[in-house]
Amino acid sequence: MSKIENLKNELKALGSEYAKIKDLKAEQRSAFGAKLNAKKSAILKQIAELEATAQSAKVTPIDLTAPSAPNQPIPVIKQGTKHPLTTELERVTDIYSRMGFDVMESYQLDDEFHMFESLNFPADHPARDGYDTFRTSEGFIPPAHTSTMQHRALLKYKENLEKGGQIAVVIPGRVFRNEDVDATHEHTFYQCEGVFVSKDATMGQMLGLLKNFFETYYGQSLNIKTQPGYFPFTEPSVEFLIEKPKSLGGKGDGWLEMLGCGMVHPNVLSQAGIDPKEYRGFAWGGGIERLVMLKYHLNDIRYFESAKLDFLKEF
Ligand code: DAH
């Protein structure tokens, strides 16, 4: 008989001992009962210990340091890949870096000053409502556009101007808007901002630079045009459009609005301590998803944040 079986029999035998309690005198009962209880728990403890040892004896130990046997199949490791937006954002910043732009990362939690005041949004101006801005209960702002970084970029790089150089920086980042989600709108998406300041920056330079960017990104020459726009932080402001290329599903008729841009407003420069009489700048900002959707013929922005593996595996 095994040790465990012996102990289990002892436990059973205890049962008839317990039955004797009722025949005892009242004053003897508690001491007798306590003795039985102690015996019972000692037995239960021993059983538990023996069972645990038996259990671990069944497990074959693995030598983690052993080299794999040559005739064993190599396990298939399913490796993840970068999210398509990460890959594309890297492509975008890479193109600008090769043009000489520095890259700065945007904040994911910002404030009223950087969202509005620093960008020449007058207090109580209706344009403030145009950004469907979220606010935390502490009064912070998850940025509704990467332009919130413009003031910081100007401050950070203004010493370039003092040394006779230029400010040339791009700022990719995640932005948030309190919008209804549909195939072309997300509450969380990505933008890339650009700021350039020099003694003689012009709109022509800006359009040439943006055309060059889009042609490099899509790997083909493109037709571009602008149409009037309004942003408090640029004057004049325009919207930048490309003609949908045939190779990307265009039929030679559609124009796509890719970003907003313009000459940096003098108030934005002077708020950062840059003299607008001496320096001029241009700036632009646009969504990354739109760029990527056109490139890969995607028709629903919601795929990006859907965590659908079938979708992600295609990249
Ligand atoms: N921040 C604007 C938006 O999200 C886009 C934009 C327009 C950025 C003009 C700029 C700019 O830097 O100069 O709608």
What are the residue ranges of helices labelled H in 219-295? 266-271, 288-295
Residue 175 has pLDDT above 70, yes or no: yes
40 and 95 co-located in one domain? no
The pLDDT value recorded for residue 119 is 97
pLDDT at residue 152 greater than cutoff 70: yes
Same domain for 197 and 271, yes or no, is: yes
Distance, CA of 277 to CA of 258 (rounded, Å): 30
* 147 Cα–ligand 1 center, Å: 6
70 lies in a domain?
no
Q: What is the mean pLDDT of residues 125-154?
A: 93
Query: Which atom of ligand 1 lies nearest, measured to the CA of 195?
Result: 12
Domain of 195, CATH number, reads 3.30.930.10
Give the model's pLDDT for residue 20.
Answer: 86
Closest ligand 1 atom number to CA of residue 175: 4
Average pLDDT, the chain: 92
pLDDT at 79 over 80: no
Number of structural domains (the chain) is 2
Residue nearest to atom 9 of ligand 1 (CA): 261
* pLDDT at residue 78 tops 90: no
In the numeric block, the tokens 């890949």 are attached to 81
CA 12–ligand 1 middle distance (angstroms): 82
Establish if 73 belongs to a structural domain. Answer: no
Same domain, yes or no, for 48 and 118? no
**Whether residue 204 sits in one domain with residue 115:** yes
Which residues span the domain enclosing 296?
Answer: 84-312
For the chain, percent of residues with pLDDT exceeding 90: 66
Nearest-angstrom CA–CA distance, 266 and 235: 8
* pLDDT at site 252: 67
Q: Does some domain include residue 71?
A: no
**What is the per-residue pLDDT across 198-220, written as a single tens digit (0 to 9) for each?**
999 999 999 999 999 999 999 99
| 154 lies in the same domain as 20 | no
Alpha-carbon distance values, 210 to 85, 215, 284 (Å): 20, 9, 9
Q: Is 62 among the domain residues? A: no
Phi, psi of 38 (to 5 degrees): -65, -45
pLDDT of residue 54: 83
pLDDT at res. 128: 86
Ligand 1 atom nearest the C-alpha of 237 is 9
Residue-level pLDDT at 245:
82
Rounded to 5 degrees, φ, ψ at 295 are -65, -40
Q: 244 or 192, which is more confident?
A: 192
Mutational pocket test of ligand 1: of 154, 284, 290, 291, the residue with most ligand atoms within 8 Å of the beta carbon: 284
How far, in Å, CA of 205 to CA of 196, rounded? Answer: 10
Residues 38 and 135 in one domain: no
Helix H or strand E encompassing 196: strand 188-198
Buried-state track 277-296, b at ≥16 Cβ within 10 A, e below 16:
eebbbbbbbbbbbbbbbbee
- Residues 51 and 170 occupy one common structural domain: no
> If you average pLDDT over residues 272-282, what whole number do you get?
98
Residues 97 and 163 in one domain: yes
Same domain, 89 and 53: no
Q: Do both 108 and 253 map to the same domain?
A: yes
Residue 73 has pLDDT above 80, yes or no: no
Q: Of 17, 40, 57, which residue is a domain's last?
A: 57
pLDDT confidence band for 97 (50 / 70 / 90): very high
* pLDDT band of 58, cuts 50, 70, 90: confident
| pLDDT tens-digit series, residues 15-50 | 888 888 888 888 888 888 899 899 999 999 999 999
Examine residue 78 and state whether it is found in any structural domain, yes or no. Answer: no
Domain identity same for 158 and 195: yes
pLDDT at residue 67 tops 80: no
pLDDT, residue 314, reads 86
Return phi, psi of residue 113, to 5°.
-60, -50
**Distance in Å, CA 250 to ligand 1 centroid:** 26
Residue with the bigger pLDDT between 245 and 271: it is 271
Q: Which two tokens stand for residue 204?
A: 């022509």
162 Cα: distance to centroid of ligand 1 (angstroms)? 26
Is 155 part of any domain?
yes
74 falls within a domain: no
Tell me which residues have their CB closer than 6 angstroms to ligand 1.
145, 147, 193, 231, 233-234, 237, 260-262, 283-285
pLDDT in tens, 158-173: 999 999 999 999 999 9
Number of CB atoms found within 10 A of residue 276's CB: 15
Pocket test for ligand 1, best of 197, 233, 237, 288 (most atoms within 8 A of CB): 233
Q: Is residue 246 pLDDT above 90, yes or no?
A: no
Residue nearest to atom 10 of ligand 1 (CA): 284
Q: What is the mean pLDDT of residues 106-128?
A: 93
Residues 133 and 198 occupy one common structural domain: yes
Q: Do the domain assignments include residue 76?
A: no
Tokens of 200: 């003689």
